[in-house]
Amino acid sequence: MITGKNYIGNNLSSKGTKQYNTFNPQLNIKNEHVFTEATAEEIDEAVHLATEAFKVFRSISKEKKATFLNTIADEILALDDFLIKTYCSESGLPEGRAKGERGRTVMQLRMFADLVNEGSWVDATIDTALPNREPAPKPDLRKMYIPLGPVVVFGASNFPLAYSTAGGDTAAAFAAGCPVIVKSHPMHAGTGELVASAIVKAVQKTGMPNGVFSNLNSSGIEVGEQLVKHSGVKAVGFTGSINGGRALYDLAAQRDEPIPVFAEMGSINPVVMLPKSVKHNYERLAKTYASSITLGTGQFCTNPGLILGIKGDDLTNFIIKLSEEIVKIDPTCMLHPNIIKAYDAKRQKAVNQDNLHVAAEYAEDVKTNYARQTVATVSGKAFIDNPTLHQEVFGPYSLVVECESVEELEAIISNLEGQLTGTLIAHDDEAAQYPEIVSALQNRVGRIIFNGVPTGVEVCPSMTHGGPYPSSTDSRFTAVGIHSIKRWVRPFSYQDWPNELLPDELKNENPLGISRLVNNKQTTEKI
């Protein structure tokens, strides 16, 4: 059932007066449920409960924490078709996508359950004492990761499940031992409440402390701002726009006690097409990229918004073919009227720039809230001279830059803002001939792809989903994969601590059997 209320800990609450509905972009109508925005008092209570819950949750056993994560996954699956229908009604995305994203969400929760259950993720590091060392004895020192405290998670508009209420940020924070307060995304508040109800059920079934999770509705920016400024909040996870992420980053940095904000923000994901490959493969590349640009109505953070090549007949052939292919694809629905409005505005702003040419634009009639995929072209020089063209156009849009020379191509790459991904398209041994291009690209991105497309973010330990600013606020972390837990933990050392009072992870007998660095040797043995 969707109540429209906030979860303050395990309790449904709606003390406020500010209300809103979600919207069905496919039907172009409001959805029925009415959501009540959290009040300042409810926000305070959620943070207070989280702070109290942290005292217990921070050192709960790994088995209990794993069970909690797995139970959340079970309870999400138990929501069954109602969740899928709600998801579709609030996003305009098809059922297949909803199910796929649910699968990813469940998989991420179980992945963190496995990580926690195994236990070695705390990076236990032990250096035993040397009481007779000269000139001074060496103490016994033992280090492991411990959780930061309550984390606020901002759900993403474009991933109602996998990067929202029980998405990657939340799963990683729970795994770390941090309570989570979700600032629910207004576009999919119903999906958010359903997932929140699954988490609350899991909290109750597995005996987690009340307040380890809260879900706050909000239609504007006030709830989020108040959360980030709250002294009880110790870290923030965000997925969304550069403007939104930067605003939260600034608020967090201006606190008396600054706190870390990991914001995964915009990216235009440059694709560098080397000349030989364009020559030999332009038809295949055009088909592949027409599909990647329009995938999910271009609403992926890894959408290829910028294609860089060397001017000439081959690149012209690629542009012609890409233009032919992309207009063959049926337009699809965007997430919300505001999203399509922003897409059309940014696209118009881009194509109105001097020296920019529209190569393809879907010209037939489209349904309300459906996006017209667009490909534009521009010279390297015009691109360099006009920063407006470097901005993300969130949606099925891509800009092909025709560079005069390899030098110009390298200069463009070197001067790009930070990006989540960069892709290199190369024929046979062509890549080896352009080491400067590869090096320049690597310096601007978090992940580099060879002869593929940037869309599709595999959830596995070797994934980096993050990158230099503004693709993220801190390139030293990833938002996807097991290592994303490092955003929410800090190293902590015990010096000369009695063995029986140490956490199990650091005890001599290694009761958890985890892998530890003991006197510079990685081992699962006891001491």
| φ, ψ of residue 196 in degrees (nearest 5) | -60, -40
Counting contacts by CB under 8 A, is residue 233 touching a copy of itself?
no
Is 407 a residue of the active site?
no
94 binds a copy of itself, rule: CB under 8 A: no
Q: Minimum distance from CB of 152 to a copy of itself (Å)?
A: 17
| Residue 7 neighbours by CB distance under 10 Å | 28
Concatenated DSSP letters for 275-322?
A: HHHHHHHHHHHHHHHHHHHHGGGG-STT---EEEEE-SHHHHHHHHHH
Concatenating the DSSP letter of every residue in 342-362 gives HHHHHHHHHHTSTT-EEEEE-
| One residue of 134, 257, 354, 365 binding a copy of itself per CB under 8 A | 257
Which H helix or E strand runs over 338?
A: helix 337-351
- The answer to whether 355 contacts a copy of itself (rule: CB under 8 A) is no
Of the candidates 463, 485, 512, 514, which one interacts with a copy of itself according to CB under 8 A?
463
Q: Please, which residue, 360 or 440, has the CB nearer to a copy of itself?
A: 440
> Does 478 engage in binding with a copy of itself (CB under 8 A)?
yes
Give min distance, CB of 222 to a copy of itself, in A: 22
Which member of 12, 60, 77, 141 binds a copy of itself (CB under 8 A)?
Answer: 141
CB of 299 to a copy of itself, least distance (A): 18
Residues 411-430 that bind a copy of itself (CB under 8 A): 417-418
Helix (H) or strand (E) holding 11: strand 11-13
Does the footprint of a copy of itself cover residue 439 (CB under 8 A)? yes
Q: Is cis: bond before 470, omega within 30 of 0?
A: yes
**Site for a copy of itself (CB under 8 A): which residue of 78, 456, 509, 526?**
456
Among 366, 475, 508, 527, which residue interacts with a copy of itself (rule: CB under 8 A)? 475
Q: Which of 264, 325, 410, 417 is catalytic?
A: 264
Pick one of 41, 313, 458, 525: the residue that binds a copy of itself (CB under 8 A): 458
| By the rule CB under 8 A, 143 interacts with a copy of itself | yes
Phi, psi at residue 34, to the nearest 5°? Answer: -110, 125
Q: Encode 298-337: b = buried (16+ Cβ within 10 Å), e = exposed.
A: bbbbbbbbbbbbbbeebbbebbebbbebbbeeebbbbbbe
Question: Is residue 249 a contact residue for a copy of itself (CB under 8 A)?
Answer: yes
State yes or no: residue 452 binds a copy of itself (CB under 8 A): yes
> Any catalytic annotation for residue 264?
yes
Per the CB < 8 A criterion, the answer to whether 170 and 153 are in contact is yes
> What do you get for the CA distance between the two ends of the chain, in Å?
53
In the set 88, 178, 301, 403, the catalytic residue is 301
Q: Is 473 in the site for a copy of itself (CB under 8 A)?
A: yes
Rounded CA gap, 268 and 300, in Å?
A: 10
Segment interacting with a copy of itself, rule: CB under 8 A, options 16-24, 216-224, 248-256, 334-342 = 248-256
CB 100 to a copy of itself: min, Å: 8
What single-letter amino acid sits at 459?
V
Shortest CA distance to 374 belongs to which of 333, 419, 329? 329
- Report the site for a copy of itself in 307-326 (rule: CB under 8 A): none
Q: Which residues are catalytic?
A: 264, 301
